[in-house]
Amino acid sequence: MAETGGTQPGSGSPMEKVADIASDIGEYIRQQRNTAKISLRQLSKLAGVSNPYLSQIERGVRKPSAEILQQIAKGLRISAEALYVQAGILDLPTGGPVGDAIRADAELTERQKQVLLDVYESFRRENAAARPAAGSVPTADTTDTAPAADTKESA
């Protein structure tokens, strides 16, 4: 451990990143608990996690495992995936600006966000599956050109 590569405070060392993630996930859990109007003790019972341990997680002292996050998610009635993303276990799902807007909306609960994202993604999958079956339309750049005009050009 003598050679640390000259890492300085604030340089983004791995230990600082772990501390930041623990703090972020703890704050996120606290926000979700407060939004759900559940006390720390109630969440402790619902999640099957000890009250002191849950308190340490919320304060950023401890970084919970995926299993503990899953138990907390059940207690909060939110998706475990949302907690995994916050904890840095999973990457943020892609979905473009619509998904980002849904995730960023502070007026929605995590459960409402997840339902909207699920519906949105199901529509996207349905449309993607229908695209190849619709024929050989390679791009959407020709949407303002009528199909009849295409056949005249190709004849």
* Torsion-angle region of 10 (φ positive above 0: left; ψ -120 to 50: alpha; else: beta): left
Q: Which residue has the higher pLDDT, 61 or 2?
A: 61
3-state SS class at 67: helix
3-state SS class at 2: coil
What's the number of CA atoms in the CB half-sphere (13 Å) around residue 117?
23
- pTM exceeds 0.75: no
With a CB cutoff of 8 Å and minimum separation 6, the contacts of 40 are: 33, 51, 54, 55, 58
Percent of the chain with pLDDT over 90: 30
Distance set, CA 96 to CA 86, 112, 120 (Å): 18, 18, 11
What is the chain's mean pLDDT, rounded? 77
pLDDT digits (tens, 9 = 90+) for 64-80: 999 999 999 999 988 88
CB 60 within 8 A of CB 26: yes
Give the confidence band of 99 by pLDDT, cuts at 50, 70, 90.
Answer: confident
